[in-house]
Amino acid sequence: MDIMKNNMEVLIKRSNRTRAQNVPPSASVYLKNPVGLGDPNLLICFVDQFSPPVLNITWLKNGEEVSEGVTETDFYPSTEATFRKFSYMTFIPEHGDFYICKVDHWGLSQSLTKLWHAKEPAFIPEMKENVVCGLGLATGILGIIIGTILFFKARRIDCGNQHRGPL
């Protein structure tokens, strides 16, 4: 074994190649589309800035490993001689479910995990638009009512001045 290790080091020196350094990855998880509970969606795990390009990505749903509906890209070169990779998982979000993208790499002492939790959105963008529209409509109607009242009051004052004579 020692002879083989020595021969390997000699070959590395002669070939002018250096050993690749283990650069640990960073990861993030996000959705392809805005969350809609019960609507099919795609979770994306983006793993970036790691070297060498040897990596294992595992998806977990509520602590159980998921393999169905999971796809991965090839390794893409990134900045500073590092790599990036995407992993996709199709799923239907249900309230209370949680999903974990688990990344294993030689540069990590333990698995890197990123959590995504399925929950009801606090304020749906469409609801916000509806509230703003409703407030605008209410303000417009109130303006019409107040304007009409002021118009008739102004006419009554003008009519009262016309009946009086010049004396």
Tell me yes or no: is domain 2-117 CATH 3.30.9.10: no
pLDDT band at 90 (very low <50, low <70, confident <90, very high): very high
Statement: the pTM of the whole predicted model exceeds 0.75: no
Say how many C-beta atoms besides its own lie within 10 A of residue 100's C-beta: 20
pLDDT band at 38 (very low <50, low <70, confident <90, very high): confident
Which one, of 117, 112, 118, lies nearest residue 95 by Cα? Answer: 118
Strand pairing category for 56-61 and 41-50: unpaired
Residue with tokens 């939790």: 117
Q: Is 67 helix (H, G, I), strand (E, B) or coil?
A: coil
Question: The tokens of 81 are what?
Answer: 């001689």
Contact 107, 77 (CB under 8 A): no
> Is the Cα dihedral 55, 111, 60, 82 positive or negative?
negative
* 119-159 per-position pLDDT tens digit: 655 455 667 778 888 888 889 899 899 989 988 888 887 76
Name the residue type at position 4: M
Question: What was the pLDDT predicted at 124?
Answer: 55
Average pLDDT over residues 25-38: 85
pLDDT at 44 over 70: yes
Report domain extents, the chain. 2-117, 124-167
* 105-129 per-position pLDDT tens digit: 988 999 999 998 876 554 556 677 7
